Amino acid sequence: MTAPLQISDRVLLDPSLVGQLSSRAFTQLTLIVERLPGILSASSVLRACGRAASEVPGITQRALYNRVRRYQRTQDPLDLIDRRETAALWKSGAPVGLPLAFQEFFRGLREKHQRVASQAHAELLAIWRTHYDMSGRHYERIPGYDAWPMANPATSIPEGWSRDNLQRSVREHVFDSLAARQGMAAARNYQPPVRTTRVGLSYGERVEFDDHDFDVKLHFAGQSRGTRPQCFGALEALSGWGTMAVRPTLWDDAAEQSRVLTEFHFRCFAANWLITQGYRDDEAGTTFVTESAKSVLRASFQSRLSALTGGKVTVHQGRVFAERAHPGQFEPRGKGNPKHKPMIEGFWSVVENALDRLPGRIGSNQRINGPAEMHGREIALARSLDLARVLPPDLAQEVALLGVMTFGQFSRVAHAAIAAVLQDREHDLEGWEELGFTRMEWRSEAESPTWLPVSDFAALPAPEQTALRARMQAPGAALTRAVRLSRQEVRDRHQGELRRLSPMALHRLLEPDDSFEVTVTRQSLIEFRDTLRFGPQEYRFLAQATGREMYPGDKFAAFFNPLSPRWLQLVDAKGGHVAMVERLETPSRNDTDGIKRAIAVQSSWVSDRKGRLAGRHYDAAEQRLHMAEHNQRLAEMAAARQPDAQTPEMRRTARRAAEAGRAMAVAREEGPIEGEVIDEVIERATAPAPEDLGEVEHIEMPADH
């Protein structure tokens, strides 16, 4: 039988445990025990461990120092043993039963320590020895024990209080640990979930909104650094169809802060959904699921929305999550609950996966899994921008921005990625089969890679259908299959069920403070620029509307949605609708069709003004007609008196005067044709006839001398 190992006057190592040590570990432990009194009595434990380590094979000064310190805290001889060589020793023995109240007490100690359970074990032993915990609280007894428990002679600690036994006997739930150490927001991922299904929804009945910061850094023109693009997104719950509006995060060098998306931008995004997609106007109605931060619709917007849609659109706003795990915790900072809108949160994950090959990715958590090379990319971008600043403008445009994409490049790629996701049929969206969102396809040969819709089969002649149907029904034919519809196909199938708002409803949706003042210029334009709200470009609108006259200098309050930039809504001082003015197209110089459209708009405006000028000055036109008739009569009288004395020029003038007189008479009776003013009638009627152009006097040119 193995004899017990005397560690100190009070501590013995149980012989059964000694027998489980390897020869190397036993030799090492024996040498350490021999030198332990000198180490503990030394003025410097660290230096004493250094001297002892030189005499004990297989251990360093730091390793020995750590073991001695653990032993001083726990008085557990197992802390002096190399754990790597005695793994079985720590797992030996069956769990020792412990009182339930004590188990709860130790769980509480463990939850108070943020990092490791070993510190909770050390505090437990300190309470047992001193009757005080680390906060200075005094204990009369340990919960679960009627008196202070006695030490086991073999371990010098109460029975069952070893770390191994506590780890096995006092189980902990990950929910409890996270709730106590991090809070309820982290623990909610480990509570029983509430599962829901899209089965039973009507199209457009539920729409989830969210804002999102993409995990990539870009460069936007005029910025001094790379920033992450942001967007608002909306997802229709039945089809899983989604859309987004993305814009760059602008860095304000003067204020040294980012200019990000605001509640104004989200109001515009929600209004754009109602105008371009619509809402249900039946009993089901539409519910907008939003959050309480950026993607929020305040009570004033909700009341206007309800009034505008007859109560068919309601808003379900997620609450700010600030719940304490227990009364002893302080209130956490409020944060949104992503489980309130799980479908669009999952949609962002799909989109990010589709974009994970882009340069400049920063990882889902930059501190934990961000690429280390991002630091170098940002330096390369800064050097590229520094170079562009000192080059002439024509060369600066050619500078390659090393390491990152431009915002324009990212915007095109991101929208293309979303379009691909919406068209993808290889998805695993829940409830698809129950809702019948599938369709049958067929092929004529098993080896054919081309699958055709059922409509093509129905278009075949009856004999061919009969022959193909017989082949399809044969065992193992593999000529038919059922495929899932894409998100886009489901959306296209049901989009007609929604009712859209008119763009003229914008002023009834947005906040009064969202309006801004505009002035009509001398060129009958309305021009404005607001980089933070609408982006860096300048917007130009033609100050022209049916039934409303606008003059240079007129001032209006205006509502503008940068997501629907075609229209600008003008309102009066009381907020009443005045007019919708259309944005002027700015075509590229090589866009011939676009230039023609712009010229057509200009010509239409000029023609309208000239038509109204002609109406206001019809008396002057009549006077010209009378004068022309008078002159015609004079010319006719002169021609009758001297028919042979007229020169060709006189004959031409007389004929043109007569024709002008007749044309003016017709114009006076019938009026000009649409788009033509009275001046143009006269000019057309008095233009030289082809035969007049032929009557040119022959002039002899002098010969060269």
**What are the structural domains of the chain?**
5-90 (no CATH), 100-189 (no CATH), 206-319+335-422 (3.30.420.10), 438-484 (no CATH), 505-582 (2.30.30), 617-694 (no CATH)
- For all residues of the chain together, what is the average pLDDT? 83
Predicted local distance difference test score (pLDDT) of residue 295:
86
Q: What is the pLDDT of residue 698?
A: 43
- What are the C-alpha distances in Å from 521 to residues 457, 525, 552, 558, 565? 62, 5, 5, 15, 20
The answer for residues whose C-beta is within 8 angstroms of residue 85's C-beta and 6 or more apart is 22, 24, 25
Q: What is the pLDDT of residue 703?
A: 46
Q: CA angle 392-396-401, nearest 5°?
A: 160
Closest to 361 (Cα-Cα) out of 261, 218, 240: 218
> Which range is least confidently modeled, 327-336, 373-382, 389-398?
389-398
Sign of CA dihedral 92, 98, 101, 102: negative
In the numeric block, which tokens belong to residue 296? 């929020």
Q: How far apart are CA 558 and CA 515, in angstroms?
A: 5
Read off the pLDDT band of 4 (50, 70, 90). Answer: low
pLDDT at residue 700 in the model: 46
In order of 40, 47, 384, 434, 533, the CA distances from 43 in angstroms are 8, 9, 60, 78, 69
Residue 73 tokens read as 């805290």
Average pLDDT of the segment spanning 371-394: 76
Q: Compute the distance between CA of residue 480 and CA of residue 472 in angstroms, rounded to an integer.
A: 7
Interval 238-258 mean pLDDT: 79
Q: For residue 208, which of 287, 271, 284 has the smallest C-alpha distance? A: 287
Q: How far apart are CA 596 and CA 511, in angstroms?
A: 38
Q: How confident is the model at residue 701 (pLDDT cuts 50, 70, 90)?
A: very low
Q: What is the pLDDT of residue 97?
A: 73
Say if residue 93's pLDDT is above 70.
no
Tell me what the mean pLDDT of segment 86-93 comes to. 54
Give the whole-angstrom CA distance, residue 344 versus residue 269.
15
pLDDT over 50 (residue 696):
no
Concatenated DSSP letters for 620-655? HHHHHHHHHHHHHHHHHHHHHH-TTS--HHHHHHHH
**DSSP β-bridge partners for residue 483:** 439
From CA 682, how far away is CA 623, in angstroms rounded? 12
Question: How does DSSP classify residue 337?
Answer: -
Q: How far is CA 395 from CA 115, 387, 402, 404, in A?
A: 56, 10, 16, 19
Is 70 exceeded by the pLDDT of residue 206? yes
> What proportion of the chain, given as a percentage, has pLDDT over 70?
83
**Long-range contact set of residues 660-667: C-beta below 8 Å, sequence gap at least 24:** 660/628, 660/632, 660/685, 660/686, 661/625, 661/628, 661/629, 661/631, 661/632, 664/624, 664/625, 664/628, 664/629, 665/625, 665/629, 667/621, 667/625
| CB-CB neighbours of 467 under 10 Å | 13
- The Cα–Cα gap between 525 and 312 comes to 38
Q: Give the pLDDT confidence score for residue 368 in this predicted structure.
A: 76
Which residues contact residue 286 at a Cβ distance below 8 angstroms, ignoring those fewer than 6 apart?
204, 205, 206, 207, 279, 280, 309, 312, 313, 314
Q: CA-based diameter of the chain, in Å?
A: 161
pLDDT value, residue 683? 57
pLDDT above 60 (res 156): yes
- How many other CB atoms are there within 10 angstroms of residue 354's CB atom? 17
> Using N-to-C axis directions, what is the helix angle for 117-130 and 61-74, rounded to 10°?
50
CA–CA dist 5, 220 (Å, integer): 73
Residue 645: is its pLDDT beyond 90?
Answer: no
pLDDT band at 138 (very low <50, low <70, confident <90, very high): very high
d(CA 226, CA 209): 27
User: Are the C-beta atoms of residues 632 and 639 closer than 8 Å to each other?
Assistant: no
Contacts of 692 (CB under 8 A, 6+ apart): 652, 655, 656
On whether the CB atoms of residues 330 and 324 are closer than 8 A, the answer is: yes
DSSP H helix total and E strand total for the chain: 27, 20
CA distance 90 to 166: 12
- 146, pLDDT greater than 70: yes
CB-CB contact of 22 with 85 (8 Å)? yes
Note the pTM of the prediction, 2 decimals: 0.71
CB 127 within 8 A of CB 161: no
Say what the pLDDT of residue 10 is: 47
31 vs 25: CA distance, rounded Å: 10
Q: Are strands 242-247 and 230-236 parallel, antiparallel or unpaired?
A: antiparallel
Coil, helix or strand at residue 421: helix
Provide the pLDDT for residue 234: 96
pLDDT at residue 658, as a whole number: 63
Instruction: Please state, as a whole number, how many other Cβ atoms lie within 10 Å of the Cβ of residue 435.
Output: 18
Q: Does 388 have pLDDT greater than 50?
A: yes
pLDDT in the model for residue 546 = 84
Q: What is the pLDDT of residue 267?
A: 94
Are the C-beta atoms of residues 479 and 442 closer than 8 Å to each other? yes
Query: What distance in Å separates the CA atoms of residue 245 and residue 295, rounded to the nearest whole number?
Result: 13
Please tell me the distance from the alpha carbon of residue 96 to that of residue 169, in angstroms, as a whole number.
7
Q: How many residues does the chain have?
A: 705
Tens digit of pLDDT for each residue in 583-640? Answer: 999 998 999 999 999 999 999 999 988 888 888 888 888 888 888 888 888 888 877 7
Structural tokens at position 171: 């189980």
H-helix segments, 439-591: 454-458, 462-472, 487-494, 506-509, 531-534
Q: Are 479 and 471 within 8 A, CB to CB?
A: yes
Candidate ranges 537-541, 543-547, 643-647; pick with highest mean pLDDT: 537-541
pLDDT of 376 reads 80
Nearest CA to 65 out of 90, 92, 35, 89 is that of: 35
Phi, psi of 475 (to 5 degrees): -60, 135
What phi, psi does 545 have (nearest 5°)?
A: -150, 150
User: What gap in Å lies between CA 366 and CA 375, rounded to an integer?
Assistant: 11
